[in-house]
Structure 1
Amino acid sequence: MLIANETFEKVSTLDNRNEYECCTFINCDFSEGNLSATKFIESEFLDCNLSNAKLNETSILDVSFKNCKMLGVQFDRSNQLLFSATFENCQLNDCTFYEMKLRQATFTNSNLEGADFTAADMKDIKITGCDLFNTSFDRANLEGADFRMSVRLQIDPELTRLAKAKFSMAQLPGLLLKHNLRIEG
């Protein structure tokens, strides 16, 4: 069933398998919930909790997440066809984006501690102002990606495609960590 142009506030369940187009979700708690096979199109989540929500075959198309708590979400189980999302001021600790095509995603001022981007296609992506402690980028395509202003970055350039990626000087130690070098300013 198509649900369009609706605002949902402080709800904790949704009928999955519905299609939500141009909807707004405010202060909703979908933690541990089952959102499998649901379609979210041009929708916005504000101050919501989606921690450990099940997203099996969920479609996320032009969706904005702002100030959301999304711990442990396995985005790689969602429908990856045309996946596009923006994450701003979100907690995305321990989320999984394994082998996803994320060229249409942006991450701004978010916490991505322990997130898994292994083998993801992140060409030209923007991950700015984020905490990337223990985040895995092994075998990812990060060509042209913008990591400026992000902190606690650790990437092995020998395991990751980095041509034309953008980093600040302060991030240099995180690119050379495996070589056990001391860099002094």
Structure 2
Amino acid sequence: MTYITDKDFKNEDFSEKGLNEADYENCNFSNCIFSGTNLSNYCFEECTFEGCDFSNTKITNTAFKNVSFKNCKLMGLQFDECNPFLLEFNFTGCILNYASFYQLKIKGTRFNRCTMHEVDFNETDLTKAVFAECDLAGAIFSFSKLEKADLRTSINLMLDPEQNQLAGAHFSLDMLPGLLGKYNIKVD
């Protein structure tokens, strides 16, 4: 396997030529297009992606180890198909609509100012995760572990407290309707 370390990639369009198959460590990808590429079985460790487009990218068995995504378009990505070994990432200003984190153990993950419409968090371990100023419209939380998670500044959250583990989780008063929605209670 080829190893690429400490390299900067800027304004590259990998959707046409593809990204060389390798393990990438401590690399920075800025304004790159991965749309429609197959990154299956790649490894990214301590890498940063900023302003990148991953629309329709295949990430089966891809390893993301301590990876940061900033202002990236990650629509529809199946993170649940990633390699779970040492899986660790965080997201700032990203569009994650229709992504799936189904059954992942991603404790302590930070989502900052992300748009997360219709994201699948079913059976996901989000213990101590932070959702700061995120739009969670239509996000699905069922049998998820949200213990000690912080969702106070996010909007459009709907979840059933009886189907999720919420001990120690932080919510704002504005979220009360989204937590009581199944009871058809009106909160004024």
Give the partner amino acid of 1:8. Answer: F
Give the partner amino acid of 1:174. Answer: G
1:79-114 CA-partner distances (Å, limit 9, x unpaired) = 011111010000000000000001142101000100
Matched, 1:65 2:69: yes
The TM-score, its normalising length taken from structure 2, stands at 0.96
> What 5-or-longer segments of structure 1 have no aligned partner?
none
Which residue in 1 is equivalent to 2:45? 41
Whole-Å separation in 1 of the counterparts to 2:8 and 2:165: 41
Which residue in 1 is equivalent to 2:80? 76
Alignment check: 8 A CA contact 1:124 1:142 kept: yes
Q: CA deviation at 1:145?
A: 0.5
Which residue in 1 is equivalent to 2:20? 15
1:41-90 CA-partner distances (Å, limit 9, x unpaired) = 00000100011211111000010000000100000000011111010000
Tell me the C-alpha RMSD between the 2 structures. 0.7
Which residue in 2 is equivalent to 1:4? 5
Shift >6 Å, 4+ stretches: none
Matched, 1:169 2:173: yes
1:94-148 CA-partner distances (Å, limit 9, x unpaired) = 0000000011421010001000010001111111110000000100001111001
Whole-Å separation in 2 of the counterparts to 1:145 and 1:123: 6
Alignment check: 8 A CA contact 1:23 1:43 kept: yes
Whole-Å separation in 1 of the counterparts to 2:134 and 2:103: 20
> What 5-or-longer segments of structure 2 have no aligned partner?
none
Matched, 1:54 2:55: no
Alignment check: 8 A CA contact 2:108 2:127 kept: no
Alignment check: 8 A CA contact 1:85 1:104 kept: no
1:2-39 CA-partner distances (Å, limit 9, x unpaired) = 100000112212123x1100000011110111001000
1:136-171 CA-partner distances (Å, limit 9, x unpaired) = 010000111100110000010011011110001101
**Matched length:** 183
Whole-Å separation in 1 of the counterparts to 2:56 and 2:119: 13
Match of 1:29 among 18, 21, 33: 33
Identity score, percent: 39
Alignment check: 8 A CA contact 1:26 1:46 kept: yes
Counterparts of 1:111-122 in structure 2 under 5 Å?
Answer: 111-122=115-126
Alignment check: 8 A CA contact 1:68 1:89 kept: yes
Task: Give the 3-state SS of the residue equivalent to 2:24 in structure 1.
Answer: strand
Task: Give the 3-state SS of the residue equivalent to 1:117 in structure 2.
Answer: coil
Which residue in 2 is equivalent to 1:106? 110
